[in-house]
Structure 1
Amino acid sequence: MKTLLRGTSRAALAVALLALGGCAKETLNPNAGAPVPVAATSSNATVVNGVMMQGFYWNTPTSTPAGTWWQNLGSKATELSQAGITAVWLPPAYKGSGALDVGYGVYDRYDLGEFNQKGTVATRYGTIGQLQSAIGALHGQGVQVYEDMVMNHFTSADAQELANGQYNVYTSFTYPGRGNTYSSYQWHWGNFTGTQQAPNNGWYQWKSWDFQPYANGDAYDNLLGSEVQYNGNTANVNETINWGNWITAKLGLDGYRLDATKHMYTPFVNQWLDAVKGTSGRFAVSEAWFRNLADMNNYAASTGGRTSLFDVPLHYLFNDMSNGNGAWDMRGLQFAGFTEANGALSVSFVDNHDTDQQGGALYSPVANLKMLAYAYILTRDKGYPCVFYRDYYEYGLGAQIKKLIAIRKANAYGAAAEYTSTNDANVYAYSRAGDSTHKGLLMLLNDGGSAASKGITTPFANATLTDATGNNTGTITTNASGYAVFPVGARSYAVWVPGGGTTTPPPTGTTAVAFNVTYSGTVSGQDVYVLGSTAQLGAWNTANAIKLSGAAYPVWKGTINLTSGTSVQFKYIRKDAAGNVLYEGGSNRVFTPTGTSMTRNDTWQ
C-alpha cells in the first residue's frame, strides 16, 4: 500500500485509496557469497536464486482476455514458471470498500470474493473460486504464492457509532452479508484508536496512538481509515493472528507481504509473525518505507530478522539514475542499499504499484534506463529480487527480463567483486566468480550516450566469454590473469559469461498411461479430471485438464499418451460446468512414463 513521506497529505492519500539494482584493480565485497536459503520443500518460499513477481499494479483492469485478474494470473502460471519466476505476490484478496477497491481500503478480511457485501460478491480481482484456481495453477507449476496482508486499518464501516461519547463516526463493522461465517468477531469504536473520515478526511481520535512517531517523524501510527489498536488490545491481536492462520490454510499460502508496517505497533508485528509465520519456512517481507538506510537497519533490528524488507533506498538510487538519464554517477551503485547492508533480509525491486502510480504519494518511477536496474538486481549476490508485473507484461521488458532471469539461474553464483578502480561516472562493473557447477558472470552497466569498453581482470582465466543478453555479438578471450577489454553499448548493459555447457537431447516416443483414480466425492454436474505439468496434461491450465470417465464410478478412468522418459507432475481435480475447481490434497504426484504402456491406480488424496 501507499505509505506517506514526511509532509505528504494523509487526506490526499485517503481520497486516492478510497476512490478506487593496464589491469583494473578489483575490490572484493567483504560480505559476498552469503547464499540465499535453499527451499527444501514447497513450503519454503525462498529458493536459490529465486525471483518473485509482484503480480498486480495499482489499477489492474477488472477484466482481461483471460477473464478476471485471478483468471489472468492463473492462465500465466506456465509461462511464469518457464520464465524462472519462483513466487508471485498477490494483491489484497479480500473485500474492500466496493467492486473497484484495489484491496487496501479493507472492509472484510474474511470475504475473499464469496459474500454479497459492499454491492458485490467478487472483489476487484474475482471470486474465491477463481482465486483458489489461480493459486492451484501457480502451485501446480511450482510457483509459490505470497498474499498481501493489510492489518493496519479498516474502511467503509456498516454504521456510525458514538465514539467515547464524543464523535459520530463510521466504526461499526458487523458484516451483515457474511454473518458469523469463518469468524464472529466484530469491530466497533473501542477496537480503534481513531478514524479518518469524510467530509474533510480529518482525524477523530479517542485513544492514544499505538506508538509515538520515530525515525525523525517518518514513522507514525495513523495512516488511513479506522486505525486498529494493537498495543494493549489482546482481543484485536488474537483475532488478527487467527485471521492470519485462517487465510494461510484457506489459500495454502507460501508467504506474506505485510503492508504499511511502519504504521503498526512493532511488537505486534513481531507477535503476529511468531504466531503465523513462526518456524513454518514460509516467507515474509514487510513494506517499511524508509528512504534512510539507517532507519531500514534499525527496523530490521527491531523486528529481529523475522521479516525481510523491501530495499527502498536502492529503489531511490535507481530513481536518481533514471532522473539523471545519463548524468548520474554510476559509482553510486557500488555496495548500495539495504541489499548490500543486509542481503539476507533484503527484497530488491525496481518499481512497484506505488512508485508506478502517477499522482500517488510515492510516485517515483524508474522511467529511464530501467533495464540497467534489472540487470543490477538480477545478477547480484545479495537480495531476493522482485519483478514488477507491469514492467514485464505492459512496458515491453518481458523478453529482456526473462533473459536476465535465465542468466541468474545459470551463472549468478559465487563470490562477488566490485571494480571500484575501474568504474567511472558512466560505467559500473560487477562480477560473480561462479562455483563448482556454475561458470559465473561479468556485468557492465553504461548510462552514457556512447558505447564504452573497460579493461577488467575477471575471475575467469584463459576463458572465452559471450554476452548472454545478446546486446553484444562476438566473443572476448581473457589472458592467464583473467584480463580482457569488454565492451558495453550506450545506455545499455552486458552480462559476459564464460562459454561451454552441454545440452540434453529431448526424449522420444510415447507411453500410453492409464489413469485410474478412486473418488466418490462428486455430485451431479461434477467430474474428475487429471491435470499436470506437460502439455498432454493441460500444462496446469484447468481449462485444458483431461476429463476422466465415471462409467466405473467411484473409479474414474482415462488413457493419455505421454512422452516417454520425461518426468511428469500431476494432480486429480474435480470440476463443474461453471469452472469451479477442487484440487486433491497432498503434494503433486510425480512419475516418469516408461515403455509403451503403464497403469496408475490411485486414490484421491
Structure 2
Amino acid sequence: MNNLTAAALTGLLAAGMLLPSCTKDGVQPGSTSLPVAAATTNSAVAVNGVMMQAFYWDVPTSTASGTWWQNLGAKSQELSDAGITALWLPPAYKGGSSTDVGYGVYDRYDLGEFNQKGTVATRYGTISQLQSAITSLHGKGIQVYEDMVMNHLTWADAQETVNGNTVYTRFNYAGRGSTYSTYRWSSANFTGTQQAPNNGWYQWKSWDFQPYANNDAYDNLLGSEIQYNGNTANQNETINWGNWITTKLSLDGYRLDATKHIYTPYVNQWLDAVKGTSGRFAVSEAWFRNLTDLNNYAAATGGRTSLFDVPLHYTFQDMSNGNGSWDMRGLQFAGFTEANGALSVSFVDNHDTDQQGGALYSPVTNLKMLAYAYILTRAKGYPCVFYRDFYEYGLGAQIKKLIAIRKANAYGAANEYTTVNDTDVYAYSRAGDSTHPGLLVMLNDGSTGRSKTITTPFKSATLTDKTGNSTATVTTDANGTGVFPVNARSYSVWVPGTGATTPPTTGTTAVSFNVTYSGTVSGQDVYVLGNTAQLGTWNTANAIKLSGATYPVWKGTINLTSGTAVQYKYIRKDAAGNVLYEGGTNRSFTPSGTSMTRTETWQ
C-alpha cells in the first residue's frame, strides 16, 4: 500500500494519531554485507500462471455472498474457470475499526477472532470465513498470497512519555491477551511515531536507514515506525508472526508491503527465515518509478523476492494519457519485466493507482485492454490482474479470453518487431513449442484500422484472431510472411491453426554448459538447475550434475527442447544436500539448432 484516500485519512484519527498512507520498500545504500540469493521459480507459480489482486480500496463490507472473504470463496470456481491461478489477499489482520482497510495495522495476530477496537470481524470478515474461503480456493487449485505489512503499527492502546513528550505507542491487546503471542509493543520497539494531525513525526531513535534514490526511499512511513536495524527482539517477533500466519492460513506466498521503507537487510532476513526454500512465492512492493532504482533494489534483495513492475505501469499510463498520440514503440523491451523477467510481476492497475485522492493515483483509463494484451502474452513476467478491472469495470470477458490464449499459445521464443512497429502499431510474437502453436499480438492505439506485413515464425500457416476482434483470416507464405490487420484502438492475437505445414519448433538442441568456478572443496560439485523438466524444474534434488574433470571448468551436455526459452542458474551442492546458488539474476536463452555451447563464469 502506498497512500490512503482523503476519506480514509479522515477516518484514521485515533489516539491522537493520523495515519496517512501505507507503502514500504527499502535498500540500504552503501551496505556491503547484503547476502545474495539466486532468483528462483516457486512451486506456487503455475506455468503461465496469472495472479489476481483480489481487492481494491474500500471494498464493500457486505456483498451478495456475505463478507468479502465469503465473496472470494464463492467466486473460487469462476476464478478457476477464468484461469486465475493465485489470489493476492488484502491484509487480513485487525486495524483500528471494522472499516479499516488493513494497512493501519493494530494487531497482526487478530485475523477477525477477538473483540478489539470495537469489532471481532475485520473489514473483510472473520477468521473462520477467511479460512473457509482459502479452503475453497485451494480446492479449485488457486494459490493464496497474503499481504504482509511489517513497517509499522497504529491505533495504540495507551500513552507513554518519551523524553518528556507524550506519545501513543503502547499496545496491550487486552482483547486477545496472550493467545498466539505474549509480545507487547511500546516506545522501546519504535524509532518514532506520528503525532496528532499536522504535528508531523516525533523521533527518539535513529531511523533504520538514511534516504536514498533521490529521497524516494526513506524509513518513516506512518504510525509507529518499527525498529529492525539492531533490534533482535523485533526481528524475531516479526519472523515468528510470519511463520505463524503462514501455517494458520496455509499460505502459498506473500506480498510484502512498502518495502522501500523497511531496512533491506531485514527484508532479506525475513524472507530467508519465513519463505526460505519452501517454494512459496514472494513479491515486494518497492515503488520505484525509476528502472535503475528498481534494478538496484532487485540486486540488494538478491533474488529472494519478485518485484512489481512499477515502471511498466507508468508506461501504460503514458499510453493511456496519450490516448492515440503516444508512440507505441515505447512498449518495446519495456520496464522491469524486460530487464529482469524472472523477478517481475507485471500489472496494469492496482488499489493505489486506482484510488482517487491517493498519492499514487495514476489509472490506465484509456486503451486498458491493450495493456492487458501486452502483459498476458509476454514471455517474461508474472502478470497480475486487478479485481476491479475484471469484475467492476467490464473487462472480465476480454481478460478471461486473453488468459485462455496465454495458457494455450504463449510459449516459445519471443520476438520484438522493431522494424515493423510505428507510432500507432506494436507487434510481438511467441514462436510456440512442440506442443503449443504460438501467437502474434498486435496493438493499435490509432484512430484507424491498420495492416502490417510481418514475417512470423509460422510458415505456410493459416492464422485467425483468437480474441475475435478481427474476423479476417491470414495465410502466410513459406517464409512465414503475411499481412495482418488490427482494428482501430484495438488489439488482435493471431494464432496458427492446423494449416501450418512446418511446426513452429520441434526436436532438441544439445546444449553444452561450461562454467568456470573454483569455489568447491572435496565433496562439493557444481550443477545446473532451471525452469524446465530437463533442467530439474527448480528442484535442487533434480539438478543436473556437471563434470569437474577439467576443473575449474565444470562441463555437461543436456538435450533441451528447441525453441523453448529456458531460465537457469548454477548451484554448488554436497552429498548432504547443502546448496549454494550463484548470485545475480536468472540466466536465460532459447535453444536452437542441433547444438549450442554456453561458456560462462560463476556469478
The question of a shared fold, defined as TM-score above 0.5 by the shorter chain, is answered with yes
1:147-206 deviations in Å (ceiling 9; x for gaps): 00000000000001012x232010000100000000000000010000013132510000
Give the secondary structure class of the aligned counterpart of 1:146. Answer: strand
- Provide the residue aligned with 1:330 in structure 2: 328
**Residues 214 and 206 of structure 1, relative CA distance in 2, 3 Å threshold:** same
Alpha-carbon deviation of 1:15? 4.9
User: Does the Cα contact within 8 Å between 1:349 and 1:385 map onto a contact in 2?
Assistant: yes
Distance (whole Å) between structure 2 residues aligned to residue 194 and residue 478 of structure 1? 66
Distance (whole Å) between structure 2 residues aligned to residue 15 and residue 358 of structure 1? 17
Q: How does 1:211-290 map to 2 (within 5 A)?
A: 211-290=209-288
Q: Which amino acid aligns with 1:248?
A: T
Distance (whole Å) between structure 1 residues aligned to residue 297 and residue 473 of structure 2? 46
1:269-322 deviations in Å (ceiling 9; x for gaps): 000000000000000000000000000000000000000000000000000000
Alpha-carbon deviation of 1:47? 1.4
Q: Which amino acid aligns with 1:62?
A: T
Length-normalised TM-score, structure 2: 0.77
Give the secondary structure class of the aligned counterpart of 2:241. Answer: helix
Give the secondary structure class of the aligned counterpart of 1:372. Answer: helix
- Provide the residue aligned with 1:81 in structure 2: 80
Distance (whole Å) between structure 2 residues aligned to residue 399 and residue 96 of structure 1? 35
User: Does the Cα contact within 8 Å between 2:307 and 2:345 map onto a contact in 1?
Assistant: yes
1:369-407 deviations in Å (ceiling 9; x for gaps): 000000000000000000000000000000000000000
Alpha-carbon deviation of 1:475? 1.2
Q: How does 1:456-535 map to 2 (within 5 A)?
A: 456-500=454-498
Distance (whole Å) between structure 2 residues aligned to residue 171 and residue 38 of structure 1? 40
Alpha-carbon deviation of 1:14? 5.2
Length-normalised TM-score, structure 1: 0.77
Alpha-carbon deviation of 1:474? 2.9
User: Does the Cα contact within 8 Å between 2:450 and 2:488 map onto a contact in 1?
Assistant: yes
Distance (whole Å) between structure 2 residues aligned to residue 344 and residue 497 of structure 1? 25
Distance (whole Å) between structure 1 residues aligned to residue 482 and residue 177 of structure 2? 70
User: Does the Cα contact within 8 Å between 2:20 and 2:222 map onto a contact in 1?
Assistant: no
User: Does the Cα contact within 8 Å between 1:433 and 1:460 map onto a contact in 2?
Assistant: yes
Alpha-carbon deviation of 1:216? 1.2
Distance (whole Å) between structure 1 residues aligned to residue 40 and residue 398 of structure 2? 26
Give the secondary structure class of the aligned counterpart of 1:331. Answer: helix
- Provide the residue aligned with 1:144 in structure 2: 143
Give the secondary structure class of the aligned counterpart of 2:260. Answer: helix
Q: How does 1:104-503 map to 2 (within 5 A)?
A: 104-163=103-162, 165-500=163-498
Q: How does 1:35-50 map to 2 (within 5 A)?
A: 44-50=43-49
Give the secondary structure class of the aligned counterpart of 2:283. Answer: strand
- Provide the residue aligned with 1:29 in structure 2: none
User: Does the Cα contact within 8 Å between 1:3 and 1:289 map onto a contact in 2?
Assistant: no
Q: Which amino acid aligns with 2:198?
A: N
1:519-544 deviations in Å (ceiling 9; x for gaps): xxxxxxxxxxxxxxxxxxxxxxxxxx
Consecutive unaligned residues of structure 1, counting only runs of 5 or more, are 19-35, 502-605
Consecutive unaligned residues of structure 2, counting only runs of 5 or more, are 23-38, 500-603
Distance (whole Å) between structure 2 residues aligned to residue 322 and residue 245 of structure 1? 41
Q: Which amino acid aligns with 1:64?
A: T
1:353-373 deviations in Å (ceiling 9; x for gaps): 000000100000000000000
Q: Which amino acid aligns with 1:387?
A: V
**Residues 306 and 117 of structure 1, relative CA distance in 2, 3 Å threshold:** same
Q: Which moved more, 1:196-205 or 1:284-293?
A: 196-205
Give the secondary structure class of the aligned counterpart of 2:353. Answer: coil
Q: Which amino acid aligns with 2:215?
A: G
Give the secondary structure class of the aligned counterpart of 1:264. Answer: coil
Q: Which amino acid aligns with 1:357?
A: Q
Give the secondary structure class of the aligned counterpart of 1:249. Answer: helix
Pairs aligned (count):
475
Q: Which amino acid aligns with 1:285?
A: V
- Provide the residue aligned with 2:522 in structure 1: none
**Residues 323 and 14 of structure 1, relative CA distance in 2, 3 Å threshold:** farther
- Provide the residue aligned with 2:568 in structure 1: none
Give the secondary structure class of the aligned counterpart of 2:88. Answer: strand
- Provide the residue aligned with 1:96 in structure 2: 95
Alpha-carbon deviation of 1:16? 5.0
Give the secondary structure class of the aligned counterpart of 1:250. Answer: helix
Give the secondary structure class of the aligned counterpart of 1:261. Answer: coil
- Provide the residue aligned with 1:548 in structure 2: none
Distance (whole Å) between structure 2 residues aligned to residue 366 and residue 77 of structure 1? 27
User: Does the Cα contact within 8 Å between 1:426 and 1:448 map onto a contact in 2?
Assistant: yes
Distance (whole Å) between structure 2 residues aligned to residue 122 and residue 284 of structure 1? 27
Give the secondary structure class of the aligned counterpart of 2:132. Answer: helix
**Residues 413 and 71 of structure 1, relative CA distance in 2, 3 Å threshold:** same
Q: Does 1:66 align with 2:77?
A: no
Give the secondary structure class of the aligned counterpart of 2:166. Answer: strand
Distance (whole Å) between structure 2 residues aligned to residue 314 and residue 128 of structure 1? 36
Distance (whole Å) between structure 2 residues aligned to residue 131 and residue 443 of structure 1? 39
Give the secondary structure class of the aligned counterpart of 1:137. Answer: helix
User: Does the Cα contact within 8 Å between 2:114 and 2:120 map onto a contact in 1?
Assistant: yes
Distance (whole Å) between structure 2 residues aligned to residue 489 and residue 365 of structure 1? 24
Give the secondary structure class of the aligned counterpart of 2:214. Answer: coil
Two-structure CA RMSD over aligned residues (Å): 1.8
Distance (whole Å) between structure 2 residues aligned to residue 152 and residue 37 of structure 1? 25
User: Does the Cα contact within 8 Å between 1:16 and 1:360 map onto a contact in 2?
Assistant: no
- Provide the residue aligned with 1:568 in structure 2: none
Distance (whole Å) between structure 1 residues aligned to residue 18 and residue 353 of structure 2? 17
1:64-110 deviations in Å (ceiling 9; x for gaps): 00000000000000010111100000000000011110000000000
Q: Which amino acid aligns with 2:231?
A: N
Runs of 4+ in 1 over 3 A off after TM superposition: 11-18, 36-39
Q: Which amino acid aligns with 1:175?
A: Y
User: Does the Cα contact within 8 Å between 1:37 and 1:48 map onto a contact in 2?
Assistant: no
Distance (whole Å) between structure 2 residues aligned to residue 148 and residue 423 of structure 1? 39
Identity %: 80
Distance (whole Å) between structure 1 residues aligned to residue 3 and residue 255 of structure 2? 14
